[in-house]
Amino acid sequence: MLINGKAVDLDEPATFYEDRFNHGTYFSHLAQAISHAVATPSSHQMHAASIVTQSGEQFGWTEIGLLHDHLRNDAASSDRSAHEALSNGNHGQPQGLGPGGEAAGKGQQLETIMQTGTEELKIRTFDGTVTVTFSDAVIASTTRARVVCVEGEPDVFYIPFEDIYFEMLRAMDKNVHRPDWGMAHFWSVSAVGEAADDFMWAYLAPEPAAAAVANHGAFNPESAGISAVPAEHGIHSTALPDN
């Protein structure tokens, strides 16, 4: 892919510089640097900010915006692929039914059922608000969360990058491959004088079975406070770290 004649490899390591005098924040993938840059509050966006890749390509704000649009379009295409996969083969499970064939409630509407090589993966939308906190700071808040359900594992909320406050997160030099899912990338967190590693993970380019959670972050319940409130009222589920 080319942007203004510059070669773009979204998997290439890159560094985001808030200005030309800043030491920069390193990311193991250009896609991570782009998502971090656009999450910078407008009041903190320096005119001279840029992303520089390992190969030496440099992108300013205009090009960062174009690259972010490309990522969003890719995510939208992944969503469409996931829906098409559901329509073409949902293993006899009628759309709108839960894991045991029961009707999905308003708070958790069925979106995708996919059979991977080793497990059945169910992804539901959540009709309500999901909020993630760390050390009394709000790290993410969304009304567009998705719930991933894998048999034998706790349900996991995934929040779109656009609703995550990346200024409190830092990409780690840690990637873990999960069969049938793809490569998970990890972030640490720092807020209110506290810090934690392995706080968030995300799949930037997941396998088809997990396409619906591309560019969505999930959070470690051992260090994050995760609350989910359905649109009607009341708390659906809460995961809070032990004090």
Whether 230 contacts 240, CB under 8 Å: no
> Does residue 92 register a pLDDT over 60?
no
DSSP three-state, residue 236: coil
Share of the chain above pLDDT 90, in %: 20
> Does residue 198 register a pLDDT over 90?
yes
What are 89's two structure tokens? 């083969």
DSSP three-state, residue 45: coil
pLDDT at residue 97 in the model: 27
What's the first-to-final CA gap in the chain, in angstroms? 48
Phi, psi (rounded to 5 degrees) for 4: 50, 40
**Mean pLDDT (the chain, rounded):** 76
pLDDT band at residue 202 using 50, 70 and 90 as cut-offs: very high
Whether 191 contacts 135, CB under 8 Å: yes
Please report how many Cα atoms fall inside a 13 Å half-sphere around the Cα of residue 117, on the Cβ side: 7
